[in-house]
Structure 1
Amino acid sequence: MISVDALAVEFSGSALFSDVSFTINENDKIALMGKNGAGKSTMMKIIAGEQKATRGNVRYPKDVVVAYLPQHLLTEDSCTVFEEASKAFKHIFKMRDEMERLNKELETRTDYESDDYMKIIEKVSDLGEKFYALEEINYDAEVEKALRGLGFKREDFTRLTSEFSGGYRMRIELAKILLQKPDLILLDEPTNHIDIESVIWLEDFLLNKAKAVMVISHDKAFIDNITNRTIEVTMGRIYDYKANYSHYLQLREDRRSHQIKAYQEQQKFIADNVAFIERFKGTYSKTNQVSSRERMLEKLEIIEIDEVDTSALKLRFPPAPRSGDYPVTVKDLSKSYDDHVVFKDANMSIARGEKVSFVGRNGEGKSTMIKAIMGQIDFEGHCALGHNVKVGYFAQNQASLLDDNLTIFQTVDEVAEGDIRTQIKTILGGFMFKGDDIDKKVSVLSGGEKTRLAMVKLLLEPVNLLILDEPTNHLDLKSKDVLKEALKNFDGTLILVSHDRDFLQGLSQKVFEFKDQRVIEHFETIDDFLVRNRIENLKQIDLKK
């Protein structure tokens, strides 16, 4: 359907990738994978027409529609929900407005025989032919149908997009995509900042309503559920597998094993021939053989072993000081903002050493409850920390709170106290900040690097209550696995808010669900909760069809 031919991108003479070719077929569901900096987002932007390649091109069939959802949403805060969704038809509206403008111009002009007048008539004729060839559509009705299908109420249509959570802003963008009826949907990190229910809805949409899809994501469960093909970008080239992410990992390991074996055999072959050449160089009877082997070695294409990201986050939380029996106690807690009730009469007791998850749709009060526990907001009712509780708090926007003007070293040095200051370089090394990296300004760091640096600050003193609000945003799959293992081994109390199901699984023994202004306690693992609620949510989706 769509052909990527000999694509190459170079920056300052250095190739990001070169001679990349592949075809995107109808109904392909592709995961675009590779380590950070490999060129995934760049490749996606080129396919979307948002960026130019240094060489090569992307060929599209006539009238193919490509819809692109970037990593950072582009909804304008000054638009209403209905206005933003209607932008799906902006090219049609632009065509209609141009026809009206030209027709008005023809009405006022009197130079009927001039070349300019004839050019306007030709332009109107061409536009009219395209416009009236379009299927007759009631655009307002189509926008309303899409928005209602995605969970918006009619009273939401006139609200500004800025009033909505990340999950619902994502749905506005998806409404635009749905209305375009695209042949290919391109998604760059679509699950960042959206709640579990929105992720489940998105999976259903992509599996059952979309045609071809290409996605970049660090959410393992999400890409496993929706993809049937994996394209890996590595060392400037690609490998294409007809497999989802988990199966691709096995196939990639097999590939590397074969490469290593072939490389070792080739190196032995080269060494044997070099030894022969050195031994018989200058021996008259072996001159032809020596020359032949020298020419062969010159032409030999050396086998390369694909790079593996060997940088590894080394993360271990310090031993937790002993706290009281119940580090967190909440009784009849209510919170409102003017007329908006977030939750009311909430109760929870979290025992020492318990690991619990806060789950629920965006805007239902998870972060609000954390702020109440931290004493950052006013509320009605009782909320208290227990005896000798020392809190380590990672806010949802923790990475963005770092001072851009400081270096990595200065960021840690300003909060470190006592003997720990002599170990700053060692600690930073464990978080993949090595050598000259520590002198980089925070302003030049990627989202993942900022998140890791914020995590370093969290580890500088022992705590017995860890509160983590969306800690995995911007972390790659490897870093998330290391953080998850460290949290499993943490011997204190954990409160975790996350939309990442794969990260959540196996981490908590109790779930507090925030829903319909209530906080509901579930005495089950997060795994059981997610299995049960996925079924419930999919049933709800079916009812909307």
Structure 2
Amino acid sequence: MAIEAQGLEIRIGARTLLNPTDFHVAKGDRIGLVGRNGAGKTTLTRVITGTMLPTAGKVRVTGKLGYLPQDTHTGDQEQTAIDRIMSARDINSILTRLRKAEKDMTNPDPDIMEKAMRRYDKAQQDFENAGGYGVQSEAIVMAESLGLDQEVLKRELGTLSGGQRRRIELARILFSDADTMILDEPTNHLDADSIEWLRGYLKKFNGGFLVISHSTELLDEVVNKVWHLDAQLAQIDMYSLGWKAYLHQRAVDEERRRREREVAEKKAERLMKQGIRLHAKATKAVAAQNMMRRAEKLLENTSEAQKKEKVADIRFPEPAPCGRTPIMAKDISRAFGSNIVFAGVNLAIDKGSRVVILGYNGAGKTTTLRLLAGIDKPDTGEVVFGHGAKIGYFAQEHDTLDNDATVLENLTHVAPDLNDTQARSILGSFLFSGDDALKPTRVLSGGEKTRLALATLVTSRANVLLLDEPTNNLDPASREEILKAIAKYEGAIVLVTHDEGAVKALNPERVLLMPDGDEDLWSDDYLDLVAEE
């Protein structure tokens, strides 16, 4: 048994995410963990992996555990991508010794050179005993299967895009030889070919894994069990079924619970009425109290049928007045070290225009948005903001949020004129109610951070929205809400996405193809490139 939980209970403030629960993940278990955004799926994975303490109970892990969190801000930013992947096994420390010895072997001091040569021989022997270049080749092949070419693998983490760093972390976990894996949204930032490769890898994986994913295609192909984290009952409903069978059985279970509830409510109502009549007679007071207690017990012991789950009310703001061209990029370029991401890009964002940016991962899509938002500066050229330009930027890595601040503080930072009641009302429409508003942002799941970042946009009165993968980490209902908001927004939008539905909702006029910076009128022929990036 690789993971075993006993009496595990999780509470955040006054809210109970999980009542005391026992479960295990064994070799061969391929579990899909599902539930609405904010139910506590990411929190549960943090508790299992030991990055967060439970309220009660314990988790025991045997063997090697690999964990892919939603937040990929990990690793030394000066470390190369291939070294980050290799660090999942001990062989990376040997490579570090080899490189240090190689460097010292060029030292003009003969004593230092001689010692370095001896260290090199020892490190080389250790490297070969650990599998040598065959293991390194394995890491490279795995990385290439996830769309990371050898040029990217040579670069430092700090020079890479969020999507590239995310895929490096995924490659690292898959390369780690873990007995059990916990993968939180592993398909984020993957193109269609990489997703197909990942499905095949997970189907053949010999250990056990638990995966959180909004990709029903992935769940349908790879899982043999489904755990539904019920946010209302704070419990895990465990199904030893594949995805389609689970959906059918869950619908059956919900209908049964609804019927049980109706029967219990009718019986409880009769008992209450009898109890009230008996209570009027002094001699029958004890019998009346017993009847009322039986009625209450009936309702307590019957699982409440699922209420319709709340969905975030996402409505982008009415844009503030602005001039004809709120943003203009003139011959902008960006490089990281010797790596030129793009050069000579020109783009005019007119009032109300709708532009989608396409290109392979690492082509500079996110970098372009950051330049347009004024967060970063181009190496050459300039970004000019027109009269009345008011920019709203949604970052795929949620960089605009202060992780050390509370949910409420993040909102009031961007909208200081809001009073507490107004701020809480806006947060409530994005499903942050009561004490949720006082949670530190760092403990939020990816979906919750997405909702909070969108809430900050709502207060901004922006007339240009720069949206970088806005549908990532969202459940289907919340995704539909943001697609409606994109379709209805009257200001300008520049969109980066792998989601074809988001592009269709945008109904773009133009497309900017990166890294070449070629601009073209939109055609549905470009839709094929969206998911293939």
TM-score (norm: length of structure 1): 0.67
1:147 aligns with 2:140: yes
Aligned sequence identity (%): 27
Which ranges in structure 1 are unaligned for 5 or more consecutive residues? 95-134, 538-545
| CA deviation after TM superposition for structure 1 residue 486, in Å | 1.0
Cα distance in 2, alignment partners of residues 293 and 278 from structure 1 = 9
SS in 2 for 1:367: helix
1:269 aligns with 2:267: yes
SS in 1 for 2:19: strand
**1:119 aligns to what?**
none
**1:128 aligns to what?**
none
C-alpha distance 9-511 of structure 1, shift in aligned 2 (>3 A):
farther
1:358 aligns with 2:357: yes
Q: Cα RMSD between the aligned structures? A: 5.1
- Do 2:355 and 2:510's aligned partners in 1 also have CA atoms closer than 8 Å? yes
Q: Deviations over 1:70-120 (max 9, x none)?
A: 3334434464445443444339999xxxxxxxxxxxxxxxxxxxxxxxxxx
Q: Deviations over 1:284-336 (max 9, x none)?
A: xx99x999978976875621216658544323234457877776666765545
**1:21 aligns to what?**
23
Alignment of 1:177-196 (within 5 A): 177-191=173-187, 194=189, 196=191
**1:34 aligns to what?**
35
Aligned residue type for 1:366: K
C-alpha distance 307-382 of structure 1, shift in aligned 2 (>3 A):
same
Alignment of 1:493-512 (within 5 A): 493-500=492-499, 503-504=502-503, 506-509=505-508, 512=511
Aligned residue type for 1:314: D
| CA deviation after TM superposition for structure 1 residue 515, in Å | 4.3
| CA deviation after TM superposition for structure 1 residue 150, in Å | 1.4
Alignment of 1:76-155 (within 5 A): 76-77=76-77, 79-90=79-90, 138-151=131-144
- Do 1:231 and 1:240's aligned partners in 2 also have CA atoms closer than 8 Å? yes
Cα distance in 2, alignment partners of residues 201 and 77 from structure 1 = 29
Q: Deviations over 1:6-64 (max 9, x none)?
A: 542255997833233366562x543212345544345435655767774476686xxx6
- Do 1:357 and 1:508's aligned partners in 2 also have CA atoms closer than 8 Å? no
Larger Rg: 1
Q: Deviations over 1:266-289 (max 9, x none)?
A: 111122234345556899xx99x9
Aligned residue type for 1:271: E
- Do 1:348 and 1:521's aligned partners in 2 also have CA atoms closer than 8 Å? no
C-alpha distance 38-327 of structure 1, shift in aligned 2 (>3 A):
closer
| CA deviation after TM superposition for structure 1 residue 145, in Å | 2.8
| CA deviation after TM superposition for structure 1 residue 232, in Å | 0.8
| CA deviation after TM superposition for structure 1 residue 491, in Å | 2.7
- Do 2:278 and 2:288's aligned partners in 1 also have CA atoms closer than 8 Å? yes
Cα distance in 2, alignment partners of residues 145 and 201 from structure 1 = 19
Specify which of 184, 187, 195 is matched with residue 200 of structure 1: 195
SS in 2 for 1:263: helix
Cα distance in 2, alignment partners of residues 308 and 368 from structure 1 = 42
C-alpha distance 154-59 of structure 1, shift in aligned 2 (>3 A):
closer
SS in 2 for 1:399: coil
Cα distance in 2, alignment partners of residues 57 and 421 from structure 1 = 39
- How many aligned residue pairs are there? 484
| CA deviation after TM superposition for structure 1 residue 263, in Å | 0.7
- Do 1:6 and 1:56's aligned partners in 2 also have CA atoms closer than 8 Å? yes
Q: Deviations over 1:113-150 (max 9, x none)?
A: xxxxxxxxxxxxxxxxxxxxxx9762442123322441
**1:468 aligns to what?**
467
1:210 aligns with 2:205: yes
Which ranges in structure 2 are unaligned for 5 or more consecutive residues? 95-127
C-alpha distance 80-369 of structure 1, shift in aligned 2 (>3 A):
closer
Cα distance in 2, alignment partners of residues 253 and 414 from structure 1 = 45
**2:112 aligns to what?**
none
Cα distance in 2, alignment partners of residues 374 and 5 from structure 1 = 45
| CA deviation after TM superposition for structure 1 residue 488, in Å | 1.3
SS in 1 for 2:31: strand
TM-score (norm: length of structure 2): 0.69
SS in 2 for 1:400: coil
**1:315 aligns to what?**
314
Cα distance in 2, alignment partners of residues 432 and 50 from structure 1 = 25
- Do 2:484 and 2:505's aligned partners in 1 also have CA atoms closer than 8 Å? no
- Do 2:67 and 2:181's aligned partners in 1 also have CA atoms closer than 8 Å? yes
**1:114 aligns to what?**
none
Aligned residue type for 1:17: N
Cα distance in 2, alignment partners of residues 56 and 437 from structure 1 = 25
Cα distance in 2, alignment partners of residues 426 and 92 from structure 1 = 50
**1:411 aligns to what?**
413
Alignment of 1:150-161 (within 5 A): 150-151=143-144, 160-161=156-157
| CA deviation after TM superposition for structure 1 residue 384, in Å | 6.1
| CA deviation after TM superposition for structure 1 residue 495, in Å | 1.0
**2:9 aligns to what?**
9
| CA deviation after TM superposition for structure 1 residue 206, in Å | 3.9
